[in-house]
Every structure is written in structure tokens, then in C-alpha cells.
Amino acid sequence: MKIHREGFSILAFAAGAMTVFVLLVPRRLRVISGFLVAIILGFLTQFFRNPDRTTPPCEDCVISPADGVVVGIERVMENEYFHEERLRVSIFMRVIDVHVNRVPVSGRLIYYRYHPGAYLMAFHPKSSELNEHNTIVIERTDGQPILMRQIAGILARRICFYLQEEQTVEAGQELGFIKFGSRCDIFLPLDAQIDVQLQQAVKGGETILARF
């Protein structure tokens, strides 16, 4: 299993701390405590897993930026960049999901802003505006801009973002990472064809969310 670099320090610290814990408990409890430690380390390891993904070669497609479940498909007013109505597809990233975020379309990154904020439940309708989040706009090669938000959840306390403005990007490319439960929103033109349904499980870098 390939581990994401965001997990190296956390896993090393957790392994060291738990080893000390096992050595300090009474000898008769070490088997049980060792078993519990193995479960915890296993959970942390799977959380930071970074599987290889094969992105479908589709110029007119919008690829899911994250693993998770589709919790919203609706027309909303986007007030930060477009200042007009857009179709918003919201993906809730559960603790059990891969938390690597990926680029949804090929093109050029033309806008990036970090916004501090609250830590509401990630599936809350207002979390897209009120929670800590990153706003990213990628302009496709045909000039069509797509807006994506990385949104912190009630447990997430760090949103990682690895790209820079004016950088050329490819669909499926690693974009960032959000730790411990979060959400990603994609804002699309109103005439986009949505290819997913509510409560559908999606995979970052592989599942087609929509088409132009």
C-alpha cells in the first residue's frame, strides 16, 4: 500500500507513542493493548493511503476531485468568483475514504484563495461558504472556467494545496489533501450534463461527474 506524504510524520509519531504505551502497561495487558494499537495504526495507515488512479481520456468531462459520496446536486448562487448561478456537485469525504484531492479538468489554474472559517459538519449546506476552505478556478483549454472548493469538516483542521496560480494542470493530477473528514464542491455551468446521482459513491481521478 502506497502511503501519502502527508501521513509520514503522523504515522511515525503514532507508532512511537503507541510503542511506549504498550511497554508501560502491565505485562498481562500487553497482548490486548498491542492488539488495540495495531487496529489504530491500521486505521491511520488506510486513511493516508494513496492508490494509483487511471483518469479516463475525455476532454469534455469533469472528473471527480475526491473519493466519497455525492451529497448535493443543485443550482446555487456562486458569490465569490462567478457572481451568478451555477450547478454545484458536492462530495462528502468520509473518514474511510481516500483523502487525496485531484484536478477535475485539464487547463490552467487562474485563481486561488484560502478562506479561514468555521468547522461545521462537512455535509451541512452552508459549510461551502462558512467553513475554512480553498477556492480554486481552473480554465479549460476552451476557455471555460470550473470552480472547485476544498472544504474543512468538523474534524479536519488542515487543508493542503500543492499548486500555484498560472500553473498548467492535467485532469487527475494530485491537487491537495484534506485530513480527517471533509468535502469538495464543484461549480459547473447550468447546461452541464450531470453523470452522477445523489448518494452515489465516486472515486477521485476516475469517476466522471459531468460533461459539457
Q: Mutual orientation of helices 30-47 and 8-24 as an angle, nearest 10°?
A: 170
* Count of C-beta atoms within a 10 Å radius of residue 144: 15
Is 187 in contact with 166 (CB distance < 8 Å)? no
CB atoms within 10 A of CB 97: 22
The three cell numbers of residue 109 are 489554474
Beta carbons within 8 Å of 172's beta carbon, 6+ residues apart = 53, 55, 63, 102, 103, 205, 206
As annotated, the active-site residues are 182
What CA–CA distance (Å, rounded) separates 37 from 91?
Answer: 31
Cβ(69)–Cβ(199) below 8 Å: yes
